[in-house]
Amino acid sequence: MGADKPKPARGRPRKMNAENVLDVAMTAYWQSDPADVSVNAICQMAGISKPSLYREFGSEDGLSRAVLDRYAEQVLSEIFVILQGGMRLRGTLDALIDFASDDPRMETGCLFYKMRAGKHRLGPETRVRVEEIDAAAQAAYVAFLQSCRDAGDWPDGLSVDAGAQYLGEQIALAITQRASGENPARIREMMALALSVFTRP
């Protein structure tokens, strides 16, 4: 009878804890390159069978898209909160610098930026989601800079679109440098220098 105990897998495929699987997959993708993490490895780490994973998420692409959605909700949403927080230009830039250089979760980089950089290796559903999130981020940066311009914080004559793209890429670069082991104090210094273009008189 004791030998039957470790096998609760019978009723488990349907009752698989999808939240737990997403957390396991998100951690695995985040700490490595998403395209290098196999479904088998995720099943093993989560203690589930491959068929039950496919039943829940449809495919590997369905899983990586669900992971990206969870990451966007739990982590990327904080960047949107900063951009839409109603702080003036300087306060918002400082908060973005804090996030990129100090947030402990960025030690291994940003899962979204990793997926964006390797999107040619992702499935079609995940690739579309990466592009949607990228467009939403660009729109949020544009809205933020436009509101700064409307408030007189940011001068006319500079392209809001180009400024928004530059700002987003500086944050991406800083987080990528975190993942490669660059000193956070040096990253903060470089970001302050890069973003000083927005606050020059």
- Examine the pLDDT at 164 and tell me if it is beyond 90: yes
Q: Which helix (H) or strand (E) holds 60?
A: helix 60-71
Do 122 and 35 touch, CB atoms closer than 8 A? yes
DSSP state of 73: I
Residue 176 CA: distances (Å) to CA of 42, 171, 179: 24, 9, 5
HEC-encoded secondary structure of 178-198: HHCCCCHHHHHHHHHHHHHHH
Q: Give the model's confidence band at 191: pLDDT under 50 very low, under 70 low, under 90 confident, else very high.
A: very high
User: Model confidence over 28-65: pLDDT tens digits?
Assistant: 999 888 888 999 999 999 999 999 999 999 999 999 99
Query: What is the pTM (predicted TM-score) of this model?
Result: 0.85
Range 9-198 has CATH code 3.10.110.10? no
